[in-house]
Amino acid sequence: MAIKDKGTEQLIKDTAKRIFFAEGKLHSTTQDIANAAGVSRTLLHYYFRSKDQLINIVFKDAMDELGSRLDNVMDADRPFKEKMENLIDVFVTEAMAFPYQETFLITEINSANSVIYNEYKTAKLKSFLKQIESEMVAGNIETMNPIHFMMNLFSLMAYPLVMSPLYKQFFKLSDKAFKNLIIERKKLICKMIFK
Amino acid sequence: MAIKDKGTEQLIKDTAKRIFFAEGKLHSTTQDIANAAGVSRTLLHYYFRSKDQLINIVFKDAMDELGSRLDNVMDADRPFKEKMENLIDVFVTEAMAFPYQETFLITEINSANSVIYNEYKTAKLKSFLKQIESEMVAGNIETMNPIHFMMNLFSLMAYPLVMSPLYKQFFKLSDKAFKNLIIERKKLICKMIFK
DNA sequence: ATAATGTTTTACAAAAATGTCAAACATTAA
DNA sequence: TTAATGTTTGACATTTTTGTAAAACATTAT
């Protein structure tokens, strides 16, 4: 009942997101979600009509959230390097809380018979790619296809968190030690992508 | 019937791996797998007794495969940089064919009540981390915790392929264009991890 | 107070996924 | 050939998961 009273609907959604994005339990049933939320499973149907609907809403939310997170940082009217530092901080912090958000999206896309997911606004992306190119011309970052630059950036931020269960055991790291490594990475990534 | 006659058991396993690792359809049912293999679903029980058993075997195979792939490259008695070039080539090529292998592993680990997965041989890892440190001392690569070095390396190789459905649409890339980018990355990654 | 509306639960129904069994079929060995 | 063994399938049973309906409960407005 604790968090419950911001509304049951929101509670169910948040619980589903926690299970999928934070815990990475992609095979969870409606019963699992209801239990974790401490409500009856029927409520899930009352508010979302079907499991598919709930998944669709969670999916859409995640896509939108991903999009607007990118927007916020790319928009900001600040020097490029500062923007990148900010992006890395925001993104890694979010990824620490919800490491499997993108994994969930990809799995849904791959599993779906036909998913409709949003087109991303081209203008904003193009302008951002241009900025990256300018930085290359200015000699601040290595010259390459700016798409590579973006893929490198996201890879370095996201992948270690996705892999954390394997990395923790492979490198014999405690939760705490692993968390510290990830925090270290914020600066490390910055060093890596700038000359 | 085409690939069928290296034995039905192998066919089923290979089909399961294709569906999970190549297509990323992590929610597939036994029926899905049987259909894709062109056999009756009962055969899957005849050879593997239960879905869980099949999953366990596929899981174990994937873990072993991952382990021995690492071994092969780390063992090789060659100069460090050459070893890394080889590792990147082997790993990226494999990841192009089976981009979701690690995602599958992680999802299984997270979903399982209690998974037993192999301890990795410590000796080999330690010696490899030492080699990385030597390269840092020699000034060939940037100084950092060698675990970061390894995480960087795997991130840069694996993550873009995991994300390909999103990247293709975000960057408006055809399958072919995307594939070319990935091949480009082999050299790019090498440049990034060496000074 | 009570009607109207919204929320939650219980009990049940339906569908989907997994598992079993026995019979049909194929292959090999005696 | 035919018994023995291994493979495959179809029909059925069980379990798991999802979905529905009606009643109980709560809240709000009149």
Nucleotides of D under 7 A from a protein CB: 7-11, 16-22
% chain B with pLDDT above 90: 81
Task: Choose among A75, A69, A77: nearest CA to A98.
Answer: A69
Predicted confidence (pLDDT) per residue in B137-183, tens digit = 999 999 999 999 999 999 999 999 999 999 999 999 999 999 999 99
Residue A6 in this model has a pLDDT that exceeds 80: no
Do A155 and B155 make contact, defined as CB atoms within 8 angstroms? yes
- Which nucleotide is the nearest neighbour of A48, by CA and C1'? D19
Predicted confidence at residue B74, as pLDDT, reads: 79
Label each residue of A117-129 as H, E or C. Answer: CCCCCHHHHHHHH
DSSP string, B139-188: TSS--S-HHHHHHHHHHHHHHHHHTHHHHHHHTT--HHHHHHHHHHHHHH
Task: Choose among B103, A27, A39: nearest CA to A13.
Answer: A39
DSSP string, A91-111: HHHHHHH-TTHHHHHHHHHHH
Give CA A179 to chain center in angstroms: 17
Predicted confidence at residue A66, as pLDDT, reads: 87
Do A107 and B105 make contact, defined as CB atoms within 8 angstroms? no
Give the number of beta-carbon pairs within 8 Å between A and B.
140
Q: Which two tokens stand for residue B69?
A: 């792939």
The rounded distance, in Å, linking the Cα atoms of B169 and B96 is 18
Close Cβ partners of A38 (under 8 Å, ≥ 6 residues apart): A1, A4
Residue nearest to nucleotide D8 (CA to C1'): B43
Tell which of A23, A32, A74, A106 to mutate to test the B interface (max B CBs under 10 Å): A106
Predicted confidence (pLDDT) per residue in A159-178, tens digit = 999 999 999 999 999 999 99
Given CB atoms, is B159 within the 8 Å cutoff of chain A?
yes
Q: Which domains does chain B have, with CATH numbers?
A: 50-193 (1.10.357)
Q: Which two tokens stand for residue A92?
A: 């890694």
Residue A4 in this model has a pLDDT that exceeds 90: no
The rounded distance, in Å, linking the Cα atoms of A57 and A134 is 38
DSSP B3: G
B50-61 in b/e burial notation, b at 16+ Cβ within 10 A? ebeebbbebbee
In the chain, the amino acid numbered A22 is A
Given CB atoms, is B109 within the 8 Å cutoff of chain A?
yes
Residue A59 in this model has a pLDDT that exceeds 50: yes
Least confident of B3-7, B31-35, B104-108: B3-7
Nucleotides of C under 7 A from a protein CB: 7-11, 16-22
Give A69: exposed, middle or buried? Use CB within 10 Å, 0-12, 13-18, 19+.
middle
Task: Choose among B64, B138, B69, B44: nearest CA to B105.
Answer: B64
Given CB atoms, is B107 within the 8 Å cutoff of chain A?
yes
Residues of A in Cβ contact (< 8 Å) with B155? 155-156, 158-160
Do A171 and B25 make contact, defined as CB atoms within 8 angstroms? no
The CA–C1' separation of A5 and C4, in angstroms, is 23
Given CB atoms, is A183 within the 8 Å cutoff of chain B?
no
The angle that helices B8-17 and B30-37 make with each other, rounded to 10 degrees, is 120
Q: What is the mean pLDDT of residues B79-95?
A: 94
B15-35 in b/e burial notation, b at 16+ Cβ within 10 A? bbbbbbbebbbbebebebbbe
